[in-house]
Structure 1
Amino acid sequence: MMSYAARLGAVFALSAVFHTATAAEFDYYLLAASWQPGFCKTKPGKPECANLAGSYAASNLVVHGLWPNNYDGAHPFYCGVSKEQIALDKPATWCSMANYGASSSTLSNLAYYMPGIQSCLDKHEWYKHGACDGRSADAYWNQTTQLVSRLGATGFSSFLRSKIGLTVSRSQLLNAFNNSFGPNSSAAMSLQCGRVNGVSYLTEVWINLNPATINQFPAAAALLTDGAISGTCPSSGIMIARP
Structure 2
Amino acid sequence: MFTAVAAWASRIQQPPLVASPGSSLAADDQAFPSPPASTIVYNGLVTAVEHLDYLRTALQATGRIYPAANYTVLKSAPTGAAQAVWVLAPQARSKRVGHALEIAVDNYNQQRKLVEAATALTVEQQAVADRVTATLDARLDEAAALATFLGKNSANIRKWKFDMTRAITEAVELANPVDTADAAVIRSGTGLLWRSQSGHAHGTPGSRLSLIDHGSVVDGGNGTLWVAASISFEEVVTATGAATLLLDEAWRLYDLRRESPGDA
TM-score range, shorter chain: under 0.3
Q: TM-score, normalised by structure 2?
A: 0.22
Q: TM-score, normalised by structure 1?
A: 0.23
Structure whose CA Rg is larger: 2
Q: Which has the higher helix share?
A: 2
